[in-house]
Amino acid sequence: MPKRKKAVLSPAKILTFGFAMVITLGAFLLSLAPATAEGHRLGLIDAFFTATSAACVTGLTVVDTGTHFTVFGQVVVLLLLQIGGLGFTTVGTLISLAFNRRISLRERLVLQESLNHHQIGGLLPLILRVMAYSLTIEATGALLLFVRFAQDMPIGQAIYFGIFHSVSIFNNGGFDLFGRIYGPFSGLAAYASDPFVNLVVMLLIFLGGIGFIVIADLLGYRQNRRLSLHTKVVLTMSGILTAVGAIILLLIEANNPHTLGPMNGVDRIFASFFHSISSRSGGVSTVPVADMEQSSQFLLILLMFIGAAPGSTGGGIKITVFAILLGAMYAMMRGNRDIIFFRQRLPKASIIKAITQTWLAMFLVITVAMVLSALEDAPFLTLLFETTSAFATAGMSLGLTPELTEISKVLLSAVMFLGRIGPLTLAYAINSGTKKELLKYPEGKIIIG
Dump pLDDT digits (tens) for 289-325.
999 999 999 999 999 999 988 878 788 899 999 999 9
User: Does residue 28 belong to any structural domain of this protein?
Assistant: yes
Dump pLDDT digits (tens) for 404-416.
999 999 999 999 9
Which pLDDT does position 438 carry in this prediction?
A: 66
pTM of the predicted protein model: 0.87
- Bridge partners of 69, per DSSP, are 36
User: Does residue 433 belong to any structural domain of this protein?
Assistant: no
The HSE-up count of residue 33 (CA atoms within 13 Å, CB side) is 2
| DSSP three-state, residue 3 | coil
Which pLDDT does position 1 carry in this prediction?
A: 46
Residue pair 379/297 in contact (Cβ under 8 Å)? The answer is no
- The confidence band for 384, taking pLDDT boundaries of 50, 70 and 90, is very high
User: Does residue 26 belong to any structural domain of this protein?
Assistant: yes
User: Does residue 355 belong to any structural domain of this protein?
Assistant: yes
Q: At what angle do helices 71-86 and 88-98 cross, to 10 degrees?
A: 90
| DSSP three-state, residue 36 | strand
Q: How far apart are CA 112 and CA 11, in angstroms?
A: 9
Dump pLDDT digits (tens) for 11-61.
566 667 777 888 999 999 999 999 998 777 888 999 999 999 998 888 899
Helix ranges (DSSP H) in 105-191:
105-115, 123-149, 155-170, 179-182
Q: How many domains are there within the chain?
A: 1
Neighbours of 367 (CB within 10 A): 12
Which pLDDT does position 59 carry in this prediction?
A: 87
Per-state percent for the chain, helix, strand, coil, to nearest 5: 65, 0, 35
Please compute the mean of the pLDDT values over residues 117-127 and round it to a whole number: 61
User: Does residue 447 belong to any structural domain of this protein?
Assistant: no
Dump pLDDT digits (tens) for 169-206.
998 888 999 988 888 888 898 898 899 999 999 999 99
User: Does residue 441 belong to any structural domain of this protein?
Assistant: no
User: Does residue 5 belong to any structural domain of this protein?
Assistant: no
Residue pair 169/201 in contact (Cβ under 8 Å)? The answer is yes
User: Does residue 445 belong to any structural domain of this protein?
Assistant: no
Q: Domain range holding 206?
A: 11-427
- The confidence band for 430, taking pLDDT boundaries of 50, 70 and 90, is low
